[in-house]
């Protein structure tokens, strides 16, 4: 994992010289001379344009910058995926700065993977036009699908965070971009937390990790869901703390006829990794323990 240290950025934003507003053919009607302060990798904070339900749960953590004058700077790619990419974003003013992870779902023509409808069984689509478009697979339907996955992940992140599950704090959503808490590695300054798959904890920490992942799965079950795609690749190890990521495919245990099957797969995948690291656990026993929380 690449180290993301903002040494290439100044400690404060120095205002550039700006002249009076002039008319140019390459500038739109909404152009503002302050835009000349930004580079290609920067934008003004999108926070002011978000509504209440597009923001994370109250109270906002200290790292959430609400200043309308903040600037978002893209620092690099954290993860590339088949349907979305995650970027490292610095949101900063002259006095504050914080790092955020920006998950951006790709447009339909850029995606290399379409999630199976077996995940979404039991979910409803409110607008009849959207439901028809999804069924017909039209261009509009594919756009609806991309937004649908982003909105699903947003709702599940909010729900799980409020229930106390170890997931990143959801900062905001705008279109198909979700800004969320950047999970740093406390044991490697400036680096992102590694995936569970890539760590080799000692026996004591391994046991503590197991307690955390079982606790997370129980919270999901209490909410009526299975992660649906849980594996050591979808869990971050931030020192002693585990954080579960990638939630758009959450499976409704009651509304999806394959829900228990998805949960079993989650249990088997996670148990297999812990056994590979030397912990004596059983996927079937984990399933029984977790499913008891759902009913």
pLDDT tens per residue, range 103-142: 999 865 555 445 555 655 554 545 555 445 445 554 444 5
Peptide bond between residue 287 and the one before it cis (omega within 30 degrees of 0):
no
Decide if 47 contacts 68 (C-beta within 8 A). Answer: yes
CA 25 to the chain's CA centroid: 39
Name the E strands within 81-169: 84-92, 97-105
Decide if 253 contacts 263 (C-beta within 8 A). Answer: yes
Alpha-carbon distance of 274 to 286, in angstroms, equals 12
Check residue 148 and give its pLDDT.
83
| Reported pTM | 0.80
Decide if 103 contacts 171 (C-beta within 8 A). Answer: no
Low-confidence ranges of the chain (pLDDT < 50): 1-25, 31, 33, 112-113, 123, 125, 130-131, 133-134, 138-141
Decide if 248 contacts 153 (C-beta within 8 A). Answer: yes
CB atoms within 10 A of CB 33: 12
SS3 for 222?
A: helix
């Amino acid at each position: 994992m690449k180290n993301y240290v903002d040494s290439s950025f100044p400690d404060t934003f120095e205002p550039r010289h700006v002249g009076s507003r002039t008319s140019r053919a390459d500038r739109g009607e909404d152009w503002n001379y302050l835009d000349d302060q930004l580079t290609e990798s920067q934008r003004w904070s999108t926070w002011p344009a978000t509504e209440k339900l597009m923001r994370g749960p109250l109270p906002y953590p200290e790292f959430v910058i609400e200043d309308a004058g903040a600037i978002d700077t893209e620092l690099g790619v954290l993860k590339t995926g088949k349907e979305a990419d995650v970027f490292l974003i610095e949101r900063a003013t002259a006095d504050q700065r914080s790092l955020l992870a920006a998950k951006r779902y790709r447009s339909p023509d850029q995606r290399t993977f379409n999630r199976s409808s077996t995940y979404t069984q039991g979910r409803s689509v409110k607008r009849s036009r959207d439901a028809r478009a999804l069924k017909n697979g039209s261009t509009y339907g594919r756009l609806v699908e991309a937004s649908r996955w982003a909105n699903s992940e947003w709702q599940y992140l909010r729900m799980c965070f409020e229930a106390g599950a170890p997931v990143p704090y959801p900062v905001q959503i705008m279109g198909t971009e979700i800004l969320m808490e950047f999970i740093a590695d406390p044991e490697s300054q400036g680096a992102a937390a590694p995936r569970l798959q890539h760590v080799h904890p000692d026996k004591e920490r391994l046991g503590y990790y197991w307690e955390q992942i079982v606790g997370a799965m129980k919270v999901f079950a209490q909410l009526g869901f299975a992660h649906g795609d849980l594996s050591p690749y979808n869990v971050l190890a931030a020192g002693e703390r585990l954080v579960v990521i990638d939630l758009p495919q959450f499976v409704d245990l009651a509304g999806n006829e394959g829900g228990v099957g998805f949960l079993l797969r989650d249990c088997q995948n996670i148990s297999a990794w812990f056994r590979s690291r030397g912990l004596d656990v059983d996927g079937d026993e984990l399933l029984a323990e977790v499913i008891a929380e759902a009913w």
